[in-house]
Amino acid sequence: MIFVYFILTVFLPFILTDDECGVTVTKCVNTNYRTLSGECTNLKNPNWGTPQSTYDRFAQPRYGPDGTIRKAVNGSDLPNARLVSRMVYQDNTLPEKRLTMSAIETGQFVAHDLSFAFLDGNTGLCCSASQQWLEEKPEQCRSVKIPENDPSYELYNVTCIAVTRSHTNKDFNCSTNLKYDEQLTETNAFLDLSLIYGLTEEIHKTLRAYKDGKLKLDIRNGQEWFLQSKTHLECFFSLSTDRCYRTGDSRVDQNPLLTIIHLMWAREHNRLASKLKSLNPNWNDEKLFQTARQIAIAEHQYITYYELLPLFLGRETMLKNNIIHKKPGFINDYDENIRPHIYNEHAQAGMRRFHTMVQGDVDLVNEEGCPYRNANLRDVINKPHWLEERDNFNGITRGMNNQPAIAPDTFTRREMSSFLFISNKPVGADIISIDLQRSRIHGLATYNDIREKCGLKKAETFDDFLDHIEPKKVKLLKELYDHPNSVDLLVGGTMERVKEGTMAGPTFNCIMLKQFYKTRKSDRLWFENSQSGLTERQLSEIRKASISKLFCDNAVGIKTMQKHGFLQVSKM
């Protein structure tokens, strides 16, 4: 029996009064253990923030007729996404001064915990097999046509970057009271390690050991690794024995740094379960599992809000905006009227700014802190099995805590903007083109709209952008766009001068601050709320968690690491 341990078990029957997208909830059990889907986190609106919910909007969307991509102010097409990428996001990158790659990749892990645009159909059919533009293609395709004279692509005679549309409320006949098309997200909106535990009972069951409160991990060469999947098709294999990993989120295999962070959290769960069992030998599997899960999620929320986000958004600003607090003990700031839904502008623009901060190669570092090997991103993407070879896992774990990220400007490594997912093709995809196309498919409001929303001056002329954008970049905007009101949020936001102590300018910082405020306030089970199920003493222990401790506790063979893994070790 699952619920025997709950003293406070109350069944709350209710009738759904709205037609939100997301899972259908029939009743809630009021406990402080989270559901997998996130349903019943809000007891008044139990399907809020569940998988296949709509995004929220920071500002009214801008679409063309019938939800098509908007036009420029003068009625022509917006500048081609690849053209913008090529002109604005060149590979002229400088290293970031303070942050390591583990900060950036923990950011990716957090981004994936919160959002996963629900794509309509298979991207694979949206260009020809030889990456050529197709005049006739499936209806859902929104591919980017590569303009002529593109130095990266022309050489290889490639004319197409595949993009498919995202599902909206219209596709599922939900949220019918919305006046515009709204895209859906596949994951729940809560910062709850759903990438480790799965979003549905069906998946979750396959991930649990059902013994001693543990997740089912395979032991290979004396270490815990993810289960392998024989059906998952997204990996690039060299040997027929190579496999993808299987866990709660299909993006686990995308790059080895991200995979390591996934695995650290799965191992952390099992480590906690073991400790709990030795302290409470009479607890059964369910009690051990749920308690370990509660603690792991709390550590994840703590590390995200108190260690990572202050580096992205500024600690003082976060304190001032009540996103973090100085006071120990419970904060109890849950507000049941705040929707947990992720802002479309956050997922498709604000958080994607970090794509420009990703390194083009992966350093492997030894126990003495010296890099000893290095691999191009293209050679390790979608190849999780690579981590299990030699000392790669430890080498990369140390490496990502050592290697500087790329500076937060517009410049982007070509590994991301030309050679992404290259596999055995001559040239790959461009994340920037895809991001820009995605943000247009999602009908994001323009840069000027969001400036206004964020209390900046709405620009009448291009020169009004000079308050936050360098003259050289404003000049580029003039060349690309017909009118200040045509400029894409993603482009204007990325161009802004970065505010000291943060990773973005005022517009992206504004979006992300609003999102992370909402994410904590709308979570009834947030670790700093007394409903979280944690005790005061547990909470004060949670406040000692850190990314370096997570890595040290869960990597066999890593003995030392700097105290703050997100920050570079200063050079002597």
- Going by C-alpha positions, the residue among 204, 202, 223, 200 that lies closest to residue 215 is 204
CA 63/CA 81 separation, integer angstroms: 16
Does 115 bind ligand HEM (CB under 6 A)? Our answer is: yes
User: Do residues 261 and 254 make contact, with C-beta atoms less than 8 angstroms apart?
Assistant: no
* Cα–Cα distance measured from residue 40 to residue 378, given in angstroms and rounded to the nearest whole number: 41
Min dist CB 344 to ligand NAG, Å, is: 22
Question: Which of 238, 199, 509 minimizes the C-alpha distance to 382?
Answer: 238
Distance, in Å, from the CA atom of 194 to the CA atom of 204, rounded to the nearest integer, reads 10
What residue 76 binds from ligand HEM, ligand NAG, none (CB within 5 to 8 A, per partner kind)?
ligand NAG
Of 126 and 495, the one with the shorter C-beta distance to ligand HEM is: 126
Spatial neighbors of 329 by CB under 8 A, at least 6 apart, are 536, 539, 540
User: Which residue from 1, 4, 17, 75 is in contact with ligand NAG, where contact means CB under 6 A?
Assistant: 75
Helix 285-302, helix 256-279: angle, nearest 10: 130
Q: 520 in helix, strand or coil?
A: helix
Can 325 be counted among the known catalytic residues?
no
Residue 140 engages ligand HEM in binding (rule: CB under 6 A)? no
Indicate whether 352 belongs to the interface with ligand HEM (CB under 6 A).
Answer: yes
Q: Is residue 438 close enough to count as binding ligand HEM by CB under 6 A?
A: yes
- Taking CB under 6 A as the rule, does residue 434 contact ligand HEM? yes
Q: Return the number of other C-beta atoms located less than 10 Å from residue 219's C-beta.
A: 8
If 0-12 CB within 10 Å is exposed, 13-18 middle and 19+ buried, where does residue 461 land?
A: exposed
Residue 351 near ligand HEM by CB under 6 A: yes
Stretch that binds ligand NAG, among 43-51, 56-64, 71-79, 489-497 (CB under 6 A): 71-79
Q: Is 385 annotated as belonging to a binding site?
A: no
Q: What is the CA radius of gyration of the chain?
A: 23
Q: Which stretch binds ligand HEM (CB under 6 A): 56-64, 111-119, 137-145, 268-276?
A: 111-119
Q: Is 413 in the site for ligand HEM (CB under 6 A)?
A: no
Half-sphere exposure of 373 (CA within 13 A, CB side): 12
State yes or no: residue 222 binds ligand NAG (CB under 6 A).
no
Rounded to an integer, what distance in angstroms lies between the CA atom of residue 139 and that of residue 82? 21
Three state DSSP letters for 467-523: HCCCHHHHHHHHHHCCCHHHCEHHHHHHHCCCCCCCCCCHHHHHHHHHHHHHHHHCC
Residue 9 interaction partner, one of ligand NAG, ligand HEM, none, beta carbon < 5-8 Å per kind: none
> Between 31 and 123, whose beta carbon lies closer to ligand HEM?
123
CA-based nearest residue to 449, from 510, 499, 500: 510
Q: Which is nearer to ligand NAG, 174 or 195 (CB)?
A: 174
Q: Is 108 in the site for ligand HEM (CB under 6 A)?
A: yes
Tell the burial category of 166 from Cβ atoms under 10 Å away from its Cβ (0-12, 13-18, 19+): buried
What length is written for the chain?
A: 572
Nearest to ligand HEM of 271, 355 (CB atom) = 355
358 binds, among ligand HEM, ligand NAG, none (CB under 5 to 8 A by kind): ligand HEM
Let me know if 278 is exposed, middle or buried by CB neighbors in 10 A (0-12, 13-18, 19+): exposed
Q: Summarize the chain as % helix, strand, coil (round to 5).
A: 40, 10, 50
- For position 347 contacting ligand HEM by CB under 6 A, the verdict is yes
Contact with ligand NAG (CB under 6 A): which of 242, 388, 482, 553?
482
Q: How far is the CB of 482 from ligand NAG (least distance, A)?
A: 3
Considering the complex, state which of residue 92 and residue 173 has its C-beta at the smaller distance from ligand NAG.
173
**Residue 68 Cβ vs ligand NAG, minimum distance, rounded to whole Å:** 17
Q: Does 76 bind ligand NAG (CB under 6 A)?
A: yes
Amino acid making up residue 410? T
Selected binder of ligand NAG within 13, 65, 74, 136 (CB under 6 A) = 74
Q: Are 46 and 18 in contact (CB under 8 A)?
A: no
| 281 lies in the site for ligand NAG, by CB under 6 A | no
The catalytic position among 112, 346, 385, 442 is 112
Shortest-Cβ-distance residue relative to ligand NAG: 482
State the DSSP H helix or E strand holding residue 96, giving kind and residue range, or none if neither: strand 95-100
Nearer residue to ligand NAG within complex by CB, 180 or 306: 180
Q: Does 130 bind ligand NAG (CB under 6 A)?
A: yes
Q: Which of 36, 78, 117, 456 touches ligand HEM (CB under 6 A)?
A: 117
Q: Kindly provide the residue ranges of all beta strands, DSSP E only, lying in 319-459, ordered along the sequence.
A: 361-365, 371-376, 404-406
Which residues ranging from 402 to 431 are in contact with ligand NAG (CB under 6 A)?
none
Helix (H, G, I), strand (E, B) or coil at 242: coil
**How far are the Cα atoms of 55, 170, 185 from residue 21, in angstroms, in the given order?**
10, 10, 10
Applying CB under 6 A, which of residues 41, 255, 433, 509 lies at the interface with ligand HEM? 255
- Shortest distance (Å) from residue 503 CB to ligand HEM: 9
Q: In this chain, which stretch among 29-37, 73-81, 332-340, 467-475 interacts with ligand NAG, using CB under 6 A?
A: 73-81
Q: Per CB under 6 A, does 439 bind ligand HEM?
A: no
- Please, which of residues 168-187 interact with ligand NAG by CB under 6 A? 173
- Catalytic site residues? 112
Binding site, residues? 355
Binding site for heme b, residues? 355
- Interface with ligand NAG (CB under 6 A): 72, 74-76, 130, 132, 157, 173, 482
- Interface with ligand HEM (CB under 6 A): 104-105, 107-108, 111, 115-117, 254-255, 347, 351-352, 354-355, 358, 420, 431, 434, 438
